[in-house]
Amino acid sequence: MERIRGYKYRAYPNKEQREFFAKTFGSCRFVYNHYLAKRKAKWEECHDTMSYNDTAKDLANNLKKEHAWLKETDSTALQQSLRHLDNAYNNFFAGTGGYPKFKRKRTDQSYRTTNTNNNIRIEDNAIRLPKAGKVKIVNTRSFEGRIISATVSRTSSGRYYISLQVEEEYEILPNKGGEIGLDAGLTALYTDSENNKIENPRTLSKHEKRIRRLQRELSRKKKGSKNREKARIRLAREHEKVANIRNDFQHKMTYRLANDNQVVCIEDLNVKEMMGNHRLARSISDASWSEFFRKLEYKMGDRGGILIKVPGTYPSSQRCSCCGRQERKVRDLSIRSWTCPECGAKHDRDVNAAVNILIKGLEMLAS
């Protein structure tokens, strides 16, 4: 079987390569913003738009002649920037994304280039890129397959990464064949139908004190000064540390679940709507359920497993997992345990919900 998979490497470009990447980031951002403004203005003037072909033709025939410095960068990266803009518009009209926004200089920067005539390849501990040459990397992962594209990125703290999109042959990995239901939460990241609770690491909360201190230090620095830039980098690195710890924890938990189970049933939560609750938004963001379930889904696929999403409207907490009676008073979130008046079964709220999610998921699978 064939699949497309990403491989990400930490990169250590030299001074010339960093300058080239900065020029390419800026050029791609300029091209994206230029044609976003142009398409927006055309729509406001005559309710018409520009296609990708229109913008690509205008870039080659006009914009590059007006701004000769655009020719110093990777031309494929500029074309990909136009592709990204066109995809953003398509997502907006399809209702799967918001209206495209202008790119900013101070956020994470990236550009994408495609592999033509094997101009992107790994050579020992380096990746060869168009116009940039051999960029030193930490070669932690090997693969056998055809490189489709490469994305060069620079984080807010100044770290560089190169992500390769690879088409490769793969075999489905084995799993232990279990079946389990998961109930997501904030105190416990999830509770499973086997009465196991995985505590929420609360990564952001543990680093919040230091982040606040670094934020205060940044706000005191004079704008445009070198000390302000140093303070900004320290704050950015602390945020990256939080993201890396959370990411590592999620990979470990999802790997274990995918390795042990053939079927995993979860509740299809509307996280975006739940984030509207200002009292819980920070905790929900810290738990990062969407990213956790995204990782779990592709890991299940690698092992031939199935991830079943039970509708969020299903009353998993209110229904007795033994007799099926629905107890409406359990809608009160302060009730953490209850006894079924029908069959007398005693339930932990979260474990009972996980069992019901598993039962409903298996019913959906059977049907």
In angstroms, rounded to a whole number, what is the distance separating the alpha carbons of residues 254 and 261?
11
Largest Cα separation within the chain, whole Å, is 80
Confidence of residue 164 (pLDDT cuts 50, 70, 90): very high
In angstroms, rounded to a whole number, what is the distance separating the alpha carbons of residues 77 and 270?
35
* pTM given for the model: 0.86
Q: What angle do CA 170, 173, 176 make, to 5 degrees?
A: 170
- Pick from 118, 135, 169: which residue ends a domain? 169
Same domain, 88 and 183: no
Same domain, 31 and 145: yes
Same domain, 88 and 216: no
Q: Which residues pair with 110 in a beta bridge?
A: 153
Mean pLDDT across the chain:
93
pLDDT at position 140 is 87
| Mutual angle of helices 226-260 and 203-220, in 10-degree steps | 170
pLDDT at position 330 is 84
Q: Is the pLDDT of residue 1 over 80?
A: no
Average the pLDDT over 75-81 and give the result.
95
Confidence of residue 342 (pLDDT cuts 50, 70, 90): confident
pLDDT at position 56 is 95
- Pick from 139, 169, 199: which residue ends a domain? 169
Q: Quick check: 320 and 293 in contact, CB under 8 A?
A: no
Same domain, 11 and 30: yes
Same domain, 68 and 136: yes
| Mutual angle of helices 15-46 and 75-94, in 10-degree steps | 40
Q: Is the pLDDT of residue 292 over 80?
A: yes
Active site residue 350: yes
pLDDT at position 363 is 93
Same domain, 206 and 297: yes
Same domain, 299 and 204: yes
**Per-residue pLDDT reduced to its tens digit, 99-122:** 999 999 888 899 999 999 899 999
Considering 86, 179, 183, 192, which one is annotated as catalytic?
A: 183
Share of the chain above pLDDT 70, in %: 100
Q: Is the pLDDT of residue 52 over 90?
A: yes
- Pick from 142, 169, 196: which residue ends a domain? 169
Considering 86, 267, 286, 327, which one is annotated as catalytic?
A: 267
Same domain, 158 and 91: yes
Cβ atoms within 10 Å of 45's Cβ, excluding its own: 8
Size (the chain), residues: 367
Same domain, 214 and 346: yes
Q: Is the pLDDT of residue 47 over 90?
A: no
Same domain, 47 and 148: yes
Strand ranges, E, within 131-194: 133-137, 146-154, 160-169, 178-184, 188-192
Give the range of the structural domain holding residue 72, as residue numbers without chain letter: 2-169
pLDDT at position 101 is 94
Window from 193-202, 276-285, 306-315 with minimum mean pLDDT:
276-285
In angstroms, rounded to a whole number, what is the distance separating the alpha carbons of residues 206 and 116?
46
| Amino acid, res. 136 | K
In angstroms, rounded to a whole number, what is the distance separating the alpha carbons of residues 183 and 145?
38
pLDDT at position 70 is 95
pLDDT at position 213 is 97
Same domain, 147 and 201: no
pLDDT at position 345 is 87
How buried is residue 116: exposed, middle or buried, by Cβ count under 10 Å (0-12/13-18/19+)? exposed
pLDDT at position 331 is 84
Rg, the chain, Cα only: 25
Q: Is the pLDDT of residue 132 over 90?
A: yes
- Supply the DSSP string of 114-149, one letter for each residue: E-STT-SEEETTEEEETTTEEEEE-------SEEEE
Residue 8 makes CB contacts below 8 A (sequence gap 6+) with 161, 162, 163, 164
Residue 249 makes CB contacts below 8 A (sequence gap 6+) with 201, 203
Nearest to 133 by CA among 42, 20, 266: 20
Same domain, 146 and 209: no
CATH code assigned at 226: 3.30.420
Q: What angle do CA 103, 108, 114 make, to 5 degrees?
A: 80
Sheet with 197-199, side-by-side order of all strands = 197-199, 188-192, 178-184, 261-268, 306-311
Q: Is the pLDDT of residue 61 over 90?
A: yes
Share of the chain above pLDDT 90, in %: 74
Q: How many domains does the chain fold into?
A: 2
Residue 217 makes CB contacts below 8 A (sequence gap 6+) with 231, 234, 235
